[in-house]
Amino acid sequence: MLEMLSISYVIAVAECDLELTSGQKGILGAMALAGTIAGSHLWGFLADTLGRRKVIIPTLLMTNAVSFASSMMTNFWMITICRFLTGFFICGASASIYAYLGEFHNQRDRSRAIMAASFVHSIGCPLLPGLAYIIINQSWAFTIPILDIVYRPWRLFLVICGLPGFISAIALLKFPESPKFDLNQGNVKRAMETIQWMHRFNSGNAESPLQIQLILGEAEVQPSRDHSKGVNAVLELIWNQTAPLFKRPYLHKTILMCFLQFGTYITAHGMFMFFPGLLDQLVKAQEAGIDRITLCDIVYAHNPLEASADQPTCTQSLSLATYGYSITLDIIYVLGFLVIGLLVNAVGRLAILVFVFTGCGACGVLAVLVD
């Protein structure tokens, strides 16, 4: 969460360091999501073939490395490439982690466990503006001659936002592969060892092993790993795993899931990437005595690279009210996850989806119209 959304605060304060226009801000904000789209199929294939854990740990470490590199970039194109790679690698972990978690739970508790993880994930939202306020609003800066960059707080902010992924990768070194994946791959012995590990972890009792008489597999069987070598063999394996998604009986489910994911990303991440900067301009407009202004007015009125010479052209920090509003909205976001986690089993996932998408769509339309 911190890694994906940290750029929303950076583009609001790094516009002159990176010489960003409004259009370039949009491209920079979208690059991580473009990387996510580009890598999602590859990482999904590898997670189903090699294992969840073997994808999650390397991609988290690579994300951290690329995030550190992006903090050192000096122009738009270099940081854009780094943000694309950030999204490319982080989607390997973010897409696999829920499958990894769910496969440690039974059917009854799986949805609740995933919602609990989503709640913890969402805690990063109110933490993000808090971190941004503590770090970005500092006034220090120094030059690194060998890299020819002025190191400002927003660069440190990118590095710190990448640390949770690194810590998570190190922590996962102590955890096994999911037992369901091992079972579906025919590795019953390792699946039983993992179940025993879970029993010891949950009970705290290493002396009394869990008595397992029989393990029943599910009707769903994951494709076994093909040991054939060569590019053609790999492409054939990818095709064999992908093609059934676009045939009956899975076609309508594939279309539905793509539509839901598109709606989720365009409403949540699409708006959030610009939200801190827009909110800061709205607060400054109110402080200047402008009582009525729309979001569209803010977008079209603010372009620092076209400002006149006698006006301030750079935003090096955001107003305190901007952080306050951001934290308030993010707390509501976290509470929403908590409420959904409590209601999902009682109300049903379909009702939750319909309510959330309808509410978000209505609020998105109203946000453009009100002033």
DSSP string, 239-298: HHHHGGGGSTTTHHHHHHHHHHHHHHHHHHHHHHTTHHHHHHHHHHHHHTT-----HHHH
Over residues 210-217, the mean pLDDT reads 67
CATH number of 2-175+229-369: 1.20.1250.20
User: 82 pLDDT exceeds 90?
Assistant: yes
Domain limits of the chain?
2-175+229-369, 187-217
Over residues 192-220, the mean pLDDT reads 73
Q: Are strands 142-144 and 149-151 parallel, antiparallel or unpaired?
A: antiparallel
On whether the CB atoms of residues 177 and 101 are closer than 8 A, the answer is no
Give residue 57's pLDDT: 94
Query: Is the pTM of the predicted complex or chain greater than 0.85?
Result: no
Both tokens assigned to 192: 């039983």
pLDDT (tens digit per residue) in 32-63: 888 988 888 889 888 888 889 999 999 999 99
Q: Tell me the one-letter amino acid at 274.
A: F
Question: Rounded to an integer, what distance in angstroms lies between the CA atom of residue 195 and that of residue 191?
Answer: 6
User: 276 pLDDT exceeds 90?
Assistant: no
pLDDT (tens digit per residue) in 92-130: 888 788 888 888 887 777 877 887 787 777 777 788 888
Over residues 75-100, the mean pLDDT reads 90
Question: CB-based burial of residue 174 (10 Å sphere; 0-12 exposed, 13-18 middle, 19+ buried)?
Answer: exposed
Query: What does residue 318 show for φ and ψ, rounded to 5 degrees?
Result: -105, 155
